[in-house]
Structure 1
Amino acid sequence: MKRFHEEEPAAAGGGANAADGVMLPEPAAGFTYSAADEEKRRGVRRMKALATGLLLTVALVYALAKWAQAGGAGGWAGYVAAAAEAGMVGALADWFAVTALFRRPMGLPIPHTAIIPTKKDQLGQSLGEFVGENFLSGGVVRMRLRAVGIGSRLGAWLSDPAHADRVTAELATALRGALTVLRDSDVQAVVGEAITRRADAVEIAPGIGATLEKVVADGGHHRVVDLVCVRAHDWLVTHSDSVMSAVTGGAPGWTPRFVDRKVGERVYKELLRFVTEMRDMPDHPARGAVDRFLTDFARDLQSDEDTRARVERLKSEVLGRGEVQDVIASVWSSVRAMIVAAAEDERSELRLRTRASILSLGARMTEDERLRRKVDGWLEDAAVYVVTTYRDEITALITETVAGWDAEQTSRKIEAHIGRDLQFIRINGTVVGALAGLLIYTASRLLGA
């Protein structure tokens, strides 16, 4: 009867278990056979020994009962022999069924045996299809997320100040990390290109004209004119000699010097008087001329094609200058430094506002059912989109992973996890078979009597 005991396949690989010297197989690609699995296999071997021992026991009982029956021991020997015989049949049948899952019984090429090693790829494909149909369907995902109630849970979690502090800190860390990873040169190039492209795509003259027209209509330019007049007056007072020198320097060479000085002084005094009157008289005619000029210029910026074309050419020339591009690119450095400093400072306005926004969002999600439903809908839609879009890739991962496993090691690992329960089937088959055999023998004796 020894031959009916499952033969343990030789361990592949050279690793040794430190506890008992059992050789562990080398893991296949993408497949791990751990020491815990080997410990489970030892438990399976103990259960195999128990099931096989029970089979040998009933075989011994059967032999003794038949010997006793032949020696005239009485009717009881027939009952015992029938029970032991049926127990052996049940044990052998279940041994064959359990063994056929993992290997060919006694090495014989019996059809539909060694099911797991030979059908591994089909089992992997079936498992992938089962997961895809029953776990990765849009209806199942949506129903499960709706039952969880993520919106209300998330709202309650965010409304806790400690959690809000944690989220704020994590966001600040992520922001600093992102800014650290980004290269300044790349970002500066992108920012410069974006600003330049945006400026090139939009005609600025009409906007400037409309703004200037409104400023003039509201009198907002008067302060600028006042400032120019004050600065011009102060400059003339401070640089009187320069003005007179400029006037006398442009006089003809044949005029007397004293005449040139008189003319220069006269020009200077008239210029100073003009600027002073313009500074002190809000209704000075020159101010009115400035108003009319600005009004006409604002109108030309909006409607005159030649003026608008000139402004566009000037804009392109200014944007094309290297100094302007350097200024645009340097904006990123300033913004980056400002954001990093704000993210690192726990009391910065950025972090305080972020924390307040998180707390406010949590409170709203807790109290506002409409917002909760909206958040739940967003999450459900996102999850369903991911699942339905990438379902084939997910199931293919299962199928391809199982297909990449070594057949022998797959069988070994599965047996390590479920083999102990399967050995109970052998034990139960022995016991149930014995009881069934006893019942049948008893019924036949009663009916035969």
Structure 2
Amino acid sequence: MDRKKTGTDGMSDQEVSGSPAAAAPLPPFAYSAADEEKRQGVRRMKATATGLLLLVAVIYVLATWAERSGVGGWPPYVAAAAEAGMVGALADWFAVTALFKRPMGLPIPHTAIIPTKKDQLGTTLGSFVGENFLSGDVVRTRLRAIGIGARVGSWLSEPAHADRVTEELSTALRGALTVLRDSDVQAVVGEAITRRADAAEIAPGIGRALEGVVADGAHDRAVDLICTRAYAWLVHHADAVMEAIEGGAPGWTPRFVDRKVGDRVYKELLRFISEMRDEPDHPARGAIDRFLTDFATDLQSDEDTRARVERLKSEILGRGEVQDVIASAWASVRTMIISAAEDEQSELRLRVRASLLSLGRRLATDQRLQEKLDGWLEGAAVYVVTTYRTEITSLISDTVAGWDAEHTSKKIEAHIGRDLQFIRINGTVVGALAGLLIYTVSHAVGG
């Protein structure tokens, strides 16, 4: 038998050597109880075929005895038919037996074909599959005939099927997020954001954005809000403002003068803030506009301003609090995605379902989209089979080579042996008919 040589630890020589080709052992091709049940049917058919051989042998003996005893007419015809039937039966018995073992244990060449040629048969089978099933033209023709794009579109356009795909995608998404370690993802996200922020200069972008805001007057609302809040704060903290103003006066001035000056300054400050709040054309607003415009220009063109913004950016990104915020963002995003994936009425799942239904309807009716999808699938399949054809066919040959020769022979015989026994039966019958025909023709011609 053609078995692999093994070492003391049960591994093959290739595995012991530790070569790159060494891989995990292939699953056993064992002879199972189901195979043994089928083999019982093979034994019954063998008994039937052998019984038929013995029957024609007995008929041959009786017909020969009758002919030698002087019985005229039929004995020679029956004897010729029985003799040819025995020859056909024995020839087919030899042919069938030679597939699985050596007939009668004799070392006859080209016998026990399956046990001795198992590896060669595996290689031949792998080559056959590679040439006839894994060629680019065959794969492309077959996929084109199937029309995957149209079928996928028709299937996906059904709401129940879209719901099913949405559910499977949600389960897969939840599983992927569960498997990922938060610490690893947080580190990657933090590093990616920091690296991208460091690599990109932000000053010109901020300048362009600020320039657009000023041009559109969008900053006016911010100025309105600041003025309104400043006025309210001054009114609410009037005493504190007065004390601050009086406290900054020289020590030699009288107290009533300080109060007069403080009151005057406070009222002027209130008047200035209220006018700036209520008058869109206030000079202070124009000054703010000019400042923001100049600052936007400097952000885009002034090297010193841009360098200062970049230094400020680096300082902010380098702070531990900022890094913690960036890293913790993943936890919030993960929780949000998992909640959306679990909720059947979430915006995420509803949008995915709607997208799937829309894609299905388009695929079912849009021939150009169908052809595009079919082309992508054909290209991908052809690339896989042409690039990995050797690996795929070697899987067949290596798997067959890993099978035990005796078990392989017994298993194959259990599956096809019953049909092979019909060859012996047919050989007996056809041989007998041929022998009868040949004897009859010979007797008629020589007659």
Q: Calculate the TM-score normalised by the size of structure 1.
A: 0.89
Residue 374 (structure 1) aligned to one of 372, 375, 379: 372
Alignment match, 1:97: 95
2:262, 2:218 → 1: CA distance? Answer: 36
Name whichever of 112-121 and 210-219 sits farther off: 210-219
| Alignment match, 2:337 | 339
Which residue in 2 is equivalent to 1:392?
Answer: 390
Distance 1:155 1:221 in 2: 50
Q: What residue in structure 1 maps to residue 30 of structure 2?
A: 32
Decide which of 156, 159, 181 is 2:157's aligned counterpart.
Answer: 159
Deviations 1:139-171 (A, max 9, x none): 111111111111111111111122222222222
Paired with 2:50 and 2:216, the residues of 1 have a C-alpha distance of 105
Paired positions, count? 422
Give the alignment partner of residue 437 of structure 1, picking from 435, 438, 441.
Answer: 435
Report Cα offsets for 1:364-396 as digits up to 9, x if no partner.
Answer: 112111111112112222222222222211111
Q: Which residue does the alignment assign to 1:82?
A: 80
CA deviation string 1:386-411 (max 9, x = no partner): 22222211111111111011101101
- Do the aligned residues in 2 keep the contact of 1:30 with 1:401 (CA within 8 Å)? no
Letter in 2 for 1:422: L
The 2-side partners of 1:30 and 1:387 are apart by 26
Q: Do the aligned partners of residues 60 and 272 (structure 1) sit closer, same or farther apart at CA in structure 2, a change above 3 Å counting?
A: same
| Separation in 2, partners of 1:218, 1:43 | 91
Q: Which residue of 1 aligns with 2:240?
A: 242
Q: Does 1:213 align with 2:177?
A: no
Q: Secondary structure at the match of 1:69?
A: helix
Aligned partners of 1:151 and 1:365 also within 8 Å:
yes
Q: Is the 8 A contact 1:151 1:373 kept in 2?
A: yes
Look up the match of 2:444: 446
Q: What pairs up with 1:19-168 in 2 under 5 angstroms?
A: 29-168=27-166
Q: Which residue of 2 aligns with 1:281?
A: 279
Q: CA deviation at 1:29?
A: 4.8
- 1:164–1:359 contact (8 Å) kept in structure 2: yes
State the shift of 1:76 in Å.
2.4
Moved more, 78-87 or 44-53: 78-87
1:205-243 deviations in whole A, cap 9, x for unaligned? 111111111211222212211222222222222222222
Q: Deviations over 1:71-110 (max 9, x none)?
A: 2122422222222222111111111111111000110111
2:76 counterpart letter in structure 1: G
Displacement after TM superposition at 1:363 (Å): 1.4
Cα distance in 2 for residues equivalent to 1:412 and 1:218: 87
The equivalent of 1:6 in structure 2 is none
TM-score (norm 2): 0.89
> Aligned partners of 1:29, 1:212: CA distance in 2, in Å?
68
> Match of 2:348?
350
Fraction of identical pairs, as percent: 81
Contact 1:244/1:265 (8 A) holds in 2? yes
Q: Give the whole-Å Cα distance in 1 for the aligned partners of 2:395 and 2:352.
A: 40
Separation (CA, whole Å) in 1 of partners of 2:415 and 2:432 = 28
Pairs within 5 Å for 1:241-280:
241-280=239-278
Relative contact order, higher structure (CA 8 A, sep 6+):
2
Q: Distance in 2 between matches of 1:376 and 1:290?
A: 60
How much does 1:33 deviate?
2.4
In structure 2, how many angstroms separate the alpha carbons of the residues matched to 1:214 and 1:151?
46
Look up the equivalent residue of 1:379 and give its one-letter code: L
Distance in 2 of aligned mates of 1:387 and 1:221: 61
| Per-residue deviation, 1:45 | 0.6
- Computed over aligned residues only, the root mean square deviation of the Cα atoms, in angstroms, reads 1.9
Partner SS for 1:339: helix
Cα distance in structure 2, aligned partners of 1:202 and 1:412: 70
Query: CA, structure 1 residues 282+301, in 2 after alignment: closer, same or farther (shift >3 Å)?
Result: same
Structure 1 residues 407 and 303: CA distance shift in structure 2, 3 A: same
Amino acid at match of 1:377: G
Give the match's secondary structure for 1:31. coil
By how many angstroms is 1:256 displaced?
A: 4.6
The separation in 1 between residues aligned to 2:161 and 2:238, in whole angstroms, is: 70
Give deviations 1:281-324, integer Å, cap 9, x for gaps. Answer: 33222222211111111110010000000001111111111111
| Separation of aligned partners in 2, 1:81 and 1:226 | 124
Structure 2 counterpart of 1:408, from 380, 390, 406? 406
Task: Say which is worse superposed, 240-249 or 48-57, in terms of deviation.
Answer: 240-249
Name the CA distance, whole Å, in 1 between partners of 2:348 and 2:409.
58
- Counterparts of 1:341 and 1:414, CA distance in 2: 54
Write the letter of the residue equivalent to 1:301: L
Task: Provide the rounded CA distance (Å) in 2 between the counterparts of 1:137 and 1:442.
Answer: 54
CA contact (8 A) 2:30 2:407 kept: no
CA shift at 1:260, angstroms?
A: 4.0
Kept in 1, the 8 Å contact 2:231–2:270? The answer is yes
1:15 corresponds in structure 2 to: none
| Aligned counterparts of 1:171 and 1:225: Cα–Cα separation in 2 | 48
Whole-angstrom distance in 1 between the partners of 2:398 and 2:342 = 46
Instruction: Provide structure 1 residue ranges, at least 5 long, that are not aligned to the other structure.
Output: 1-27
1:278 and 1:286 in contact (8 A); partners too? yes
SS of aligned partner of 1:203: coil
Query: What is the identity, as a one-letter code, of the residue corresponding to 1:274?
Result: F
Q: Secondary structure at the match of 1:346?
A: coil
